[in-house]
């Protein structure tokens, strides 16, 4: 089992550029979560999906952020345009719908916006 | 407004001694609590959990205690080992919609176990 896969692991971009982060959840998991980790705010839930449907996106900071899950094995988090304050580590996690609350995290994408 | 608080950003413990990590919460709807462990450049990994119907759960060297009246939980690691050095996150969930549950995380406590 490969676990949750995220790409890229590191992303450095300039302010104003579009950034796309990718996630492949664990096969068979029905729920997918996007988190952002910063020193100031810790781990924040941005959005989560159940069976590919966005359930709660109240954590998405601004309209510059958008997330999609076109199928059960792929999700993207897009920031357009990016700003320096978006610099953080972004984690994707997945869980089995009927498997309780344990979530399995990917290794994260460290985003730096210059 | 932080619903899950870990008031100690860091903790240092001698190898072989007990490590106690604390967590407080404010949302009385939380009914399930988890501890995650995170090494640098890796994602958090699940460590141990406890349901609100229990006050203690033990797994090897790790024990989680829950005091619902005080809205407080703690993680005990006995004996502490250098490999336990990591950031520990406390997380809580309340029943959510449509099956799965959201987790609310604390900011983490960095544990350093000194050989």
Cβ pair B49, B101 in contact under 8 A = no
User: Which tens digit of pLDDT belongs to each residue from A27-59?
Assistant: 999 899 999 999 888 899 999 898 899 988 888
Mean pLDDT of B24-29: 93
3-state secondary structure chain A: CCCCEEECCEEEECCCCCEEEEEECCCCCCEEEEEEEECCCEEEEEEEEECCEEEECCCCCCCCEEEEEEECCEEEEEECCCCHHHCEEEEEEEECCCCCCCCEECCCEEEEEC
Residue with tokens 């460290």: A110
Cβ pair B70, A1 in contact under 8 A = no
Residue A49 touches partner B, C-beta closer than 8 Å: no
Beta bridge partners of B36: B46, B89
Is there a contact between B105 and A43 if contact means CB atoms under 8 Å apart? yes
pLDDT recorded at residue A101: 72
A&B contacts, CB < 8 Å:
68
Instruction: Chain B: give the shortest CA distance to residue A108, in Å.
Output: 6
User: Which tens digit of pLDDT belongs to each residue from A65-101?
Assistant: 999 999 999 999 999 999 999 999 999 999 986 555 7
pLDDT recorded at residue A35: 96
User: Which tens digit of pLDDT belongs to each residue from A9-28?
Assistant: 999 999 999 999 999 999 99
Phi/psi at B88 (5° precision): -110, 125
Mean pLDDT of B4-33: 95
Helix (H) or strand (E) run with residue B62 in it: strand B62-67
pLDDT recorded at residue B99: 47
Measure CA B15 to chain center.
20
Helix (H) or strand (E) run with residue B48 in it: strand B45-51
Cβ pair A76, A22 in contact under 8 A = yes
Chain A residues with beta carbon closer than 8 angstroms to that of B101? 100-101
Instruction: Chain B: give the shortest CA distance to residue A18, in Å.
Output: 24
pLDDT recorded at residue B94: 82
User: Which tens digit of pLDDT belongs to each residue from B45-103?
Assistant: 999 999 999 999 999 999 999 999 999 999 999 999 999 999 999 999 887 654 456 78
């Amino acid at each position: 089992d490969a676990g949750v896969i995220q790409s890229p692991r590191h992303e450095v971009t300039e302010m104003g550029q579009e950034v796309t982060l990718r996630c492949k959840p664990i096969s068979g998991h029905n729920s997918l979560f996007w988190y952002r980790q910063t020193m100031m705010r810790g781990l924040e839930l941005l959005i989560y999906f159940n069976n590919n449907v966005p359930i709660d996106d109240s954590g998405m900071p601004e309209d510059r952020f958008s997330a999609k899950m076109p199928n059960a094995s792929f999700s993207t988090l897009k920031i357009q345009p990016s700003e320096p304050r978006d610099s953080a580590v972004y984690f994707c996690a997945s869980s089995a719908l009927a498997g309780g609350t344990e979530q399995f995290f990917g290794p994260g994408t460290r985003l730096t916006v210059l | 407004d932080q619903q899950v608080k870990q008031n100690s950003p860091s903790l240092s413990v001698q190898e072989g001694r007990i490590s106690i990590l604390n967590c407080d919460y404010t949302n009385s709807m939380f009914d399930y609590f988890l501890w995650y462990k995170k090494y640098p450049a890796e994602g958090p990994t699940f460590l141990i959990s406890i349901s609100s119907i229990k006050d203690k759960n033990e797994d090897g060297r790790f024990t989680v205690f829950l005091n619902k009246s005080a809205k407080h939980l703690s993680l005990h690691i006995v004996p502490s080992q250098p490999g336990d050095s990591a950031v520990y996150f406390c997380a809580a969930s309340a029943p959510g919609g449509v099956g799965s549950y959201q987790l609310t995380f604390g900011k983490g406590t960095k544990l350093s176990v000194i050989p």
